[in-house]
Structure 1
């Protein structure tokens, strides 16, 4: 009951009411309105803000054996009341309440992400008994049950394929950009998506032992490890309280004037110190929001400035996470690359496989006329075949072509694509291999420059990814990261983060997927890609890049460094003012009322200094994001070595204004599993 009342009085609405009472008292003082002490408006402030503050101080002292800054302020308040200085008592109580509200606003952290993660767990499964299907709840599934997973369905439990072949999207667990082909004997994970072809699996682990549940548990455990940050004034209160009391008592004894001792207590209150951190953090968070960065935790902003190691996920973070045709390699002298793309797209036209859709989409973009296939057949996890005007076509992996008695002698080309982190599709015509098509994720244009800037600031960069090591090394080399770890599951990413922290590293993790959530939670600071990132990753992270602009990472580092400098400057200002005011109090130059005014002026100076952080400029390459309506724009884009010029009617999402008034607008045109970057000039 007492805690509920305290929380209510410390709330925003009651603090505003408390401030109104204090303002009325100030107005009475300015205009010389004299009232009996018991009718002083500052009593309203003392009751609303002072009583809960006194309760908080005594609770921390008695229950938690914690000498906090609230105790010193409570002593000053009580001492002021004992000598009849109600305004001084109300002033220190209200500043304390205001500081508490600002602090709460800067450390609040959303926890909806865990709920979103739990919602990913399938609720039902399709069990096969004596050849018959029945839908049952997941908690009714037993080890050894045979379950059927149709295309588009999620895997309800961990299991092993006993019948059928397919491709599964495992990005929830590994972050891999490519679907993984699965056949009899392969393991499948709970929560992953069956993309193509029906499969039967045998349940191997249930409920709390499933891979998805373990991922949920990792996020829970990482969240519980995050301890709240004490205010800096509270950290110093252990010695502030006894020093203030000693100076006040000595001043009283030496001068024989109790008013001087009380004035010392009033000016000694660390209210400016309390405001030093939250006001600077609020200004920095406000500025970051202008630039499309959501900072959910003041603690994260403080911590970021001291970080020396930044760890990146690959897919969706350093890359766009969308497949696109990267190589069209004709091995037949009578067929051009365009012919090869036409033959392949015709055969893949009716396929639902993501790689097939990327190829068809690419053919459409370069305006190739795609034929309707005849006698089309698909073989899940292997490939497709059809007849078109060129003859009998086979498109798929090496195993598929070998099963159809087609000789393959292109190991060097396949190895080259593999070393470059690309998926490869082999095309055969009338029993002879005629070419290869490579597909790859696309590196973000600003990834390399961003990594270079971080290196210039003295930071180490590391890549952690669920992709295979060869793919990881290829993309890491393109952006300038030398330390790479591939083939990592979520718990292995988390283990790597913890090992770095145990080695004395201060770690920032940047990622976008569900599989990154435990690592984002465990790292000192987690940064998520806000637009393409999963809700779980965004909620697990401390910072979200709303426009997916990875180039803002160096800006964030500079902002955090400047915020730390402002906090230290505020602390120095507040301590200097307090020291001067203490000397003046001992000499009798200040009384409790004038001391409270000086004390309040120090707090205002700290707030004004913090406010300057809001409009500070850190990086010419980072511009304010604005919203624009539909307009007609000229654009160009680079596509497979050729430049194409066109006009397009587009909806501009983000506009970046430069100082000279020219608008450079960066947008993305999305097609199925392909993303074209365009620069608009208007």
Structure 2
């Protein structure tokens, strides 16, 4: 009950009421209005009682000498000599600082609940009865090791197991983050919580409950969350020597001068309220600045850690790439053209639901290629498709499927080796009795991925790629964007282990990702960034920072913002300590009394807040510059050899529709006026 009352008094509403009482006291003091009860008592009771309780609780139960103790002593001393306003002022400033800091470190906890909801609750058990195979739906709690379960297309796999019958493709991005479905057949391992996309699979259970891969993922997120210690206020870290020093100076001033008022004034001006406000106000301003750029920062600790960052680890799919497959290569191996190979392949792939098939069909549609319908369509899950039209018998699928029907030439094998080395997905197209072409598909690299990596390197930050994709794919994409250290084929716990390894080496580590499988590593890193619009809810909730527009070019901006925030915090701390030092000297000399000391003390707090507020409108993005003359107009396009974003007006002729730079081709924005 007592704790609940303290929480109410320390809450936002009652702190506002306390501030109103303090304002009334100032008005009465300035205007000379006498009141039977000093309004400052309202602030003392509302903000002072929780402060007194907090100081005693930390001192008695936690054995912790905190800044709250020093302010409580100053408050009681002020009340003892009748300086109620001074007592009210320090109590209210402390309450306000606590609210600001609590606001900046508040963290969302919904992600773990969403992760737990991914766990399937039922399974389809296969058993024999009267010599015949039967199936029934049972709870996952009833499933035992070595039970045989059937998983239909579109169902989640309820346990970890091994395929004993059937072929299919499994979307296991929830566990590994792989951008492509993985083909599964007899003897292949499957994971709990992954999605069976096409064929019927019979699997034998190999692990249950807490031993399943998904449950281990959940446990990793829980453990990583528990390791995140709350940020301790700077003033509290220094309180063990602030309190005795303040008491010694105050006592010395009283003894030396014989004036207790001077000793109390020392205690009032010694209160570290400006020090307490130094961090949360700068953090609030920086968070506001980031919000304007479409970035959600959940805690002040994240900003502080970014400033000390030495290593950034990236996931690949959906982070450095868009996470959607596109046709990248069409290679005829016979007498057909690229368009003819695409048309023949699309004829059968149009009827398939596989993501690779959809990408091929979309490519044919984008190229406006006429596609003839097929008959006798057959789909072989995890292998390929077949159909017949006027061209003849069409086959499209993976290498194993095509080998069953065709001889693969050395020339074709060379093409396949080259495409495999680039980490591309491959569909081989066969017609009648020959292989006529290869269609390769690849994830698309974000246009700004390379510039992001370059900017981070300029800021002295090491970049690393951690991905569930195979090593060849990972190396290919890393080379494209300029990352030299690559680790592929990683499960969630292995990503986490790499993050921990970097941390143990003395690095401050940032993890950037977008998937459920990234959540443990996001939680474990010193600071983490999730892709907000395409990332999973679990990744967003696990991360400290969310990029709401998925613009990874904001990561170097975040680093610069954090550096400036840390500088502002340190400057504010130095400023507050200097003001306190001057005020202490003036208090000892009798130039300040408790009331004027409280006003000076309050002025110091205001200076700290105003300096922190300047962060809000500062420009930290070096690529966003005003440009009126870097471009030349050829009547159709604006051309530039610089990588700039135009903020001022650009005057162009009527025909201009695009702006070209050496990195980007941008559509003409509304702020660029046409003549």
CA contact (8 A) 1:57 1:74 kept: yes
Aligned to 1:150: 152
Q: Answer yes or no: is the 8 Å Cα contact 2:332–2:437 preserved in 1.
A: yes
Where 2:426 maps in the other structure, the secondary structure is strand
Distance in 1 (CA, whole Å) between partners of 2:605 and 2:298 is 25
Q: CA deviation at 1:680?
A: 5.3
Alignment-derived partner of residue 550 in structure 1:
552
- Counterpart mapping for 1:487-498 below 5 A: 487-498=489-500
Q: Does 1:537 align with 2:539?
A: yes
Distance 1:570 1:213, change over 3 A: same
- Verify the 8 A CA contact 1:291 1:622 in the aligned structure 2: no
**1:305-454 equivalence runs, <5 A:** 305-332=307-334, 334-409=335-410, 410-454=412-456
Taking a change above 3 Å as real, the CA distance of residues 365 and 139 of structure 1, as seen in their structure-2 partners, is same
Decide whether the 8 Å contact of 1:427 with 1:435 is kept in 2.
yes
Shift of 1:123: 1.3
- For 2:608, the equivalent position in structure 1 comes to 606
For the 8 Å contact 2:282–2:569, the answer to whether it is kept is yes
Could you report, residue by residue, the CA deviation over 1:652-676 in whole angstroms, capped at 9, with x for unpaired residues? xxxx98233799999xxxxxxxxx9
CA separation in 1, counterparts of 2:289 and 2:646?
16
Q: Does 1:192 align with 2:194?
A: yes
Q: Matched residues in 1 for 2:341 and 2:589: separation?
A: 93
What is the Cα deviation at residue 129 of structure 1? 1.8
Deviation at 1:364, TM superposition (A): 0.3
- The answer on 1:114 being equivalent to 2:115 is no
8 Å CA contact 1:244, 1:265 repeated in 2: yes
Tell me how far apart the structure 2 counterparts of residues 622 and 181 of structure 1 sit (CA, whole Å): 45
Distance 1:555 1:70 in 2: 36
The alignment's TM-score, normalised by the length of structure 1, stands at 0.92
- Per-residue CA deviation, residues 273-332 of structure 1 (Å, 9 max, x unaligned), is 000000000000001000000000111011110011011000000000100000000011
Structure-to-structure mapping, 1:50-69, within 5 angstroms:
50-69=48-67
The farther-off stretch of 386-395 and 24-33 is: 386-395
State how far apart, in whole Å, the 1-side matches of 2:152 and 2:416 are: 31
State the shift of 1:421 in Å: 1.0
Distance of 1:488 and 1:187 partners within structure 2: 15
2:69 alignment partner in structure 1: 71
Tell me the residue number matched to 2:223.
Answer: 221
What residue in structure 2 maps to residue 19 of structure 1?
A: 19
CA distance in 1, matches of 2:214, 2:181: 18
Distance 2:666 2:378 in 1: 38
C-alpha displacement of 1:406: 4.0
Q: Equivalent residue for 2:5?
A: 5
What is the SS of the residue equivalent to 1:323? strand
TM-superposed deviation, 1:681: 4.0
**1:249-290: CA deviation from partner (whole Å, max 9, x where unpaired):** 000000000000000000000000000000000000001000
From the superposition, tell whether residues 405 and 453 of structure 1 become closer, same or farther in structure 2 (CA, over 3 Å). closer
Which 5+ residue runs of structure 1 have no aligned equivalent? 625-634, 637-655, 667-675
2:665, 2:338 → 1: CA distance? Answer: 24
Instruction: Give the RMSD, CA atoms, in angstroms.
Output: 1.9
- 1:473 is paired with a residue whose SS is helix
**C-alpha displacement of 1:407:** 4.0
Q: Indicate if the aligned counterparts of 1:665 and 1:681 stay in contact, CA closer than 8 A.
A: no
1:83 to 81, 84, 102: 81
- Counterpart residue number, 2:505: 503
Q: Secondary structure at the match of 1:162?
A: strand
> Aligned equivalents of 2:665 and 2:364: distance in 1?
18
Q: Take 2:595 and 2:243, find their aligned partners in 1: how far apart are those partners?
A: 21
Aligned pairs (5 A) from 1:209-358:
209-332=211-334, 334-358=335-359
CA distance in 2, matches of 1:480, 1:174: 23
Q: Name the residue aligned to 2:461.
A: 459
1:327 and 1:299 mapped to 2: Cα distance?
Answer: 46
1:631 paired residue number: none
* Residues in 1 aligned to 2:166 and 2:554: alpha-carbon distance in whole angstroms: 46
> With structure 2 as the length reference, what TM-score do the two structures score?
0.93
Deviation at 1:378, TM superposition (A): 1.1
Partner of 1:473: 475
2:169·2:184 contact (CA, 8 Å) conserved in 1?
yes
Task: Extract unaligned runs of 5+ from structure 2.
Answer: 627-635, 638-644, 659-663, 671-675
Residues 448-474 of structure 1, C-alpha deviation per residue, up to 9 Å, x if partnerless? 000000001111000000001111000
Contact 2:624/2:647 (<8 A) preserved = no
